[in-house]
A = this chain, B = another copy of it.
């Protein structure tokens, strides 16, 4: 039996989108839902109580980061991720592959470079016009260097699952290769096929380590294939039909680099083929227009660092588009960030105060801005869900997007 349960409550007419409820061992998630990112077992600048207060239902931590610091075995000894970080709601971890590939430091003497491109199974940085390998992929796994100290490490599909077992999140992901959108067709094919072989090894290892009676973690398979329709569709078919014994994945992730059009193309192609009764997570996406597009095309879960990262830079969401709180005009603006907003920040503080905290380099600036941005995005997805339940998705989408994007000029 799967440790999670997914039920669909309502569908968007003539589209792939739906509102559902995903039940995990640590509570239920009303979907579609925005998953808050707590990279290193902490949602940056926030307490778990602040995260819960702003409406977040689920937190995703990064396997690559926790493996390096404090180490997955320390998280296990602490009683798992929930106890370690004092977040007792649903949790997820990614597979670590994306960060190993993109953050892993250069092989060789220079360990400060970050991947800029990719070819033939290696990620590269440029130095003096020469490509420097950052991470080496072979059939068995990925060898990479820590971005912290340059030490060499290796992830395989089995190792990624073992680390995720130690961390102990409710939902974990299969180890995949996230290719660059610039990669040529031939490499995309090769990487997608390798991702499928790795997915099978993850599924086998996971079910062997966690037999049916004792399974506490759900495993999501990941669909890749870049922007090629035939590769995406083949990947969706293979991953959704993959079995170890008589059991398959508990849900699905859709990986890759996406832009706005991909919501209607790549995401739609995949979700048209994935089984309707299992949840689907679009990895690393969080722009408002992408949330509407992804949900309409059948996505149930999103995670993205953008709301908190932008918040720490002083960029704040409003229904009229983004604003930069560091603009001089806000120094004497004693209204809240957004008048109608019901977040903690807008209930108690003015634009002038938030602007002051940023100028004074006070840490509380990041806290207040992160609360506002996460509240905005988490509740935007909740309102989209409500519109689906109320049979009102198209109108809500039109109104929101018209308003949000008409005034981009104030950014």
Q: Which residues of A contact B (CB under 8 A)?
A: 40-42, 44-47, 50, 65, 69-70, 74, 77-79, 84-86, 331-332, 334, 348-350, 352-353, 355-357, 359-360, 362-364, 366-367
Contact = CB atoms under 8 A, between A and B. Distances in A.
A74 B360 contact: no
B364 A70 contact: no
A40 B364 CA distance: 11
Contacts of A364: 42, 44-47
Contacts of A86: 348-349, 353
A69 B359 contact: yes
Given A85-B353, A356-B69, A362 B44 contact: yes
A74 B363 contact: no
Contacts of A357: 40, 42
A37 to B, nearest CB: 13
A149 to B, nearest CB: 12
A77 to B, nearest CB: 7
Given A78-B353, A86-B349, A350-B78, A360 B65 contact: yes
Contact of A334 (B44, B77, B355): B77
Contacts of A359: 69-70
Contacts of A356: 40-41, 69-70, 74, 84
A363 B366 contact: yes
A91 to B, nearest CB: 15
Nearest to A370: B363
Contacts of A349: 86
A74 B332 contact: yes
A348 B42 CA distance: 13
A109 B44 CA distance: 39
Nearest to A360: B40
Nearest to A312: B363
A337 to B, nearest CB: 14
A202 to B, nearest CB: 26
B77 A332 contact: yes
A77 B349 CA distance: 14
A281 to B, nearest CB: 24
Nearest to A48: B348
A364 B49 CA distance: 12
A350 to B, nearest CB: 6
A82 B55 CA distance: 27
A366 to B, nearest CB: 6
